[in-house]
């Protein structure tokens, strides 16, 4: 369960205040993989960051009864001076999992060779994404937040990522942001559409997709 209690968020854009999330009061169920849909600029990534706790709302709070991942594939919180292995050990300590096991898993999963023991500042964006996705898959969460993350790497790595992600969500919930409706249909049971700062929930993911596409057509 993820519950929004009067959650609002706005930003100043070119001297004007833009409301992205508008006094949101709703509950997302557990045990399902939800597509988070909305047009570009609707605030999907902002909402995901609020759920993850990396952005504070202006008002209200988010309440959950389970462990929530950071946005899968997000590498912005890595410390550039530390190696990939050192960053992974730090993550393991934060989430209370075995450091050695997580390091071994991520080193094998990320497939970045000797760079795993080099400072992250020397990584390409692709290597950072591989490291972040591996760390995400190496920890068992109750809810995974996914923002286009399975698109990283070459075709073989993307295929492996999709297999691991599908395995993780067999026994967990997920909130997926994607512009690929094929991916949405593959992984999601239901959907929520974010529009004008409000969420509308659909038990049928096809209804959510249709509502989303209709909003785009009428934009």
Instruction: Show the CA angle centred on residue 159, arms to residues 154 and 163, nearest 5°.
Output: 145
Which pLDDT score is estimated for 150?
A: 54
Question: Which CATH number describes the domain made up of 1-67+142-152+172-219?
Answer: 3.40.50.300
Q: What is the mean pLDDT of residues 134-152?
A: 83
CB 48, CB 194: distance < 8 Å? no
Which is more confidently placed, 152 or 13?
A: 13
With pLDDT > 90 as the criterion, what percentage of the chain qualifies?
63
Q: What is the mean pLDDT of residues 16-42?
A: 91
Q: What is the pLDDT of residues 179-201, one digit of tens each?
A: 889 889 988 999 999 999 999 99
Which pLDDT score is estimated for 212?
A: 95
Of 7-21, 107-121, 160-174, the one with minimum mean pLDDT is 160-174
Question: How far is the C-alpha of 20 from the C-alpha of 9, rounded, in Å?
Answer: 6
Which pLDDT score is estimated for 152?
A: 63
Mean pLDDT of the chain: 91
Q: How many CA atoms lie within 13 A of 68 on its CB side?
A: 22
Q: What is the mean pLDDT of residues 6-28?
A: 93
Q: Is the pLDDT of residue 52 over 70?
A: yes
Beta-bridge partner residues of 55: none
């Amino acid at each position: 369960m993820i519950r929004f209690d009067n959650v609002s968020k706005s930003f100043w854009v070119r001297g004007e205040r833009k409301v992205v999330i508008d006094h949101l009061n709703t509950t997302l169920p557990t045990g399902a993989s939800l597509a988070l849909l909305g047009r570009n600029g609707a605030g999907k990534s902002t909402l995901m960051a609020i759920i993850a706790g990396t952005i504070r709302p202006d008002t209200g709070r988010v309440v959950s009864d389970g462990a929530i991942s950071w946005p899968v594939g997000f590498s912005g919180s890595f410390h550039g001076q530390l190696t990939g292995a050192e960053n992974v050990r730090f993550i393991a300590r934060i989430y209370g999992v075995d450091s050695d096991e997580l390091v071994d898993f991520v080193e094998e999963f990320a497939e970045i060779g000797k760079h795993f023991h080099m400072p992250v500042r020397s990584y390409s964006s692709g290597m950072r994404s591989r490291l972040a996705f591996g760390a995400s898959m190496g920890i068992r969460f109750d809810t995974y937040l996914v923002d286009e993350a399975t698109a990283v790497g070459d075709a073989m790595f993307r295929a492996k990522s999709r297999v691991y992600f599908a395995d993780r969500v067999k026994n967990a919930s997920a909130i997926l942001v994607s512009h690929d409706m094929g991916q949405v249909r593959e992984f999601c049971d239901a959907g929520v559409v974010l529009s004008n700062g409000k969420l509308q929930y659909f038990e049928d993911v096809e209804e959510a997709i249709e509502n989303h596409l209709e909003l785009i057509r009428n934009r």
